[in-house]
Amino acid sequence: MDTLTLSRQWLDLNFDNKSNRLDFPPEVISNSEVMDLSAFTKLLNEFFETQQLKSRKLKMVLSTDLVFEKSFIVGQDEEEGLKKFYEEIPFPSEKILRKEIKQNGAITAIAVNNEILQAVINALKVRKISVSAVTPESLINTDFSLIGNAPASSKLNINYRSLAIFLAVLVIFGFGGFLGYRYLQSKKNVALEPVPDTQITPVPKDIEATPSSQVLEFKKREMLEIKVQNGSGKTGEAAKVRDELDKLGFSQIEIGNAATKSAITLVNLSINVSPPDQKEILTMLEKWYKSIKATTSAGLTSDVEIVIGL
């Protein structure tokens, strides 16, 4: 499928085995915030005008540096954690598109600056180019989408059989005409309407984000504060991860045991961690742990928080 990858600094269009990149000037887009919407719209229109995309369907992939993600273990004050997470996103609440998914005893919150997203979608729509899905890079191998009626895919780390049954029920209702339509309408609080009539679920009014004009800078590897907690129940797992991180040049590492066992390995990465460092940490963990859920978010007490799962 043809794809469009959207980052906080650029977008990359891939179709017909070709890649075309558009960089965003800092005076137009800065730290995932639209500084000049008119200039951004013009930039997008001029770029898409040069591409042979008419009547195509694209899958949009959101780069990890654009998306705010964080996972919480269900039953451990997740509601308070979610509220704090949304409060720390540096954009006005009306500009935030968010979605939450539950899997393996954890709930993952996903949020993005919808102003950037909608500007790109609208520029494509003018040229009769539809967007079939908007998927965070961390969920690229799933059917999860921030827009549309599809729930999280069975390819996610969840109970496959239960989800397959759930999806089958949705398909049956979808083909049931009016009854299916009424069913989907009742689910608007969970799933958004597909393009072109996308409806955005705003952050509740009582959750106000604080705008920030600070320029984010990536920390040097040796300055990153890393917390590793063993939630697997196996002795020595945290120490093993610490030793491997130390070999990679990460030096400020704290280890301990998680309060409860975790079914999957959770990795929360601060937005101050550079993409190369993020990739190296995850690549190292993938050597030993099959089920890994990585998220990027603001406001962490450490730059990297790892909970080792079963």
pLDDT of 151-198, one tens digit each? 443 333 434 444 455 455 444 544 455 444 454 444 444 344 444 444
Helix or strand or coil: residue 32?
coil
Axis crossing angle, helix 160-174 with helix 178-186, rounded to the nearest 10: 130
For 45-199, list the strands marked E by DSSP: 57-62, 68-73, 96-103, 106-113, 130-136
DSSP symbol at 178: H
pLDDT in single tens digits along all 310 residues of the chain? 788 999 988 999 988 888 889 999 999 998 888 999 999 999 999 999 888 877 788 899 999 888 998 888 877 777 888 888 888 888 888 888 988 888 777 888 899 999 999 999 999 988 888 898 999 988 888 778 888 654 443 333 434 444 455 455 444 544 455 444 454 444 444 344 444 444 444 444 333 333 433 445 788 999 999 999 999 888 999 999 999 999 999 999 999 998 888 888 999 888 888 888 998 999 999 888 888 888 887 767 899 999 998 7
Model pLDDT, residue 168: 52
pLDDT of 20-42, one tens digit each? 899 999 999 988 889 999 999 99
Cβ–Cβ under 8 Å, residues 40 and 119? yes
Residue with tokens 């999280």: 152
- The whole-angstrom separation of Cα 294 and Cα 87 is 20
Kindly report the backbone phi and psi dihedral angles of residue 188, in degrees, each rounded to the nearest multiple of 5, phi listed first: -60, -25
Task: Write down all domains in the chain, each with its CATH number in brackets.
Answer: 3-148 (3.30.420.380), 221-308 (3.30.70.2390)
